[in-house]
């Protein structure tokens, strides 16, 4: 597979977030699917390619530098104005489990650094997800 386009890079990012703690939960899979089906950034995305893209992502994650490669792919595949969107996608997947694990938090830190996001912006994105996923 060639270098991923923007949508594929976003999918790689979400899959990497879901697998950051070593397992993908049903909630994370549902969230990933919901995001692919509903967000404008995925308009026209071919869901039939999801398995192929996930396999390619798995191959990247098997590399020692897999997470760094995925971040670099997003940086090269999308314009900088979409870095906040990329971060928000990762946060949505992490938040779907209600509590983020240490590996997930570390991956989010890597994303903030890789995308050079302002702390206030990343904090606002994280807070927004926490508010949406609260339980009574």
Percent of the chain with pLDDT strictly greater than 90: 75
Any domain includes 14: yes
Any domain includes 35: yes
Give the pLDDT confidence score for residue 132 in this predicted structure: 87
> Could you tell me the residue range of the domain that residue 55 belongs to?
6-132
Q: What are phi and psi of 5, to 5 degrees?
A: -80, 180
CB 45 within 8 A of CB 85: no
Any domain includes 103: yes
What domain count does the chain have?
1
C-alpha distances (whole Å) from 72 to each of 32, 68, 69, 82, 111 are: 21, 6, 5, 14, 10
Any domain includes 1: no
Give the pLDDT confidence score for residue 74 in this predicted structure: 96
Percent of the chain with pLDDT strictly greater than 70: 99
CATH of the domain at 72: 1.10.3680.10
CB 13 within 8 A of CB 56: no
Any domain includes 116: yes
pLDDT in tens, 94-113: 988 877 889 899 999 999 99
pLDDT in tens, 53-97: 989 999 999 999 999 999 999 999 999 999 999 999 999 999 888
């Amino acid at each position: 597979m060639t270098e991923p386009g923007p949508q594929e890079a976003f999918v790689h990012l979400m899959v990497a977030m879901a697998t950051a703690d070593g397992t993908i939960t049903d909630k994370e899979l549902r969230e990933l699917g919901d995001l692919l089906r509903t967000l404008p950034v995925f308009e026209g995305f071919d869901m039939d390619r999801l398995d192929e893209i996930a396999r390619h992502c798995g191959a990247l994650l098997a590399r020692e530098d897999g997470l760094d490669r995925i971040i670099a792919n997003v940086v090269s595949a999308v314009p900088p104005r979409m870095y906040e969107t990329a971060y928000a996608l990762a946060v949505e997947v992490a938040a779907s489990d209600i509590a983020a694990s240490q590996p997930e938090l570390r991956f989010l830190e890597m994303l903030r650094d890789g995308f050079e996001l302002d702390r206030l912006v990343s904090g606002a994105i994280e807070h927004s997800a926490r508010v949406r996923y609260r339980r009574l």
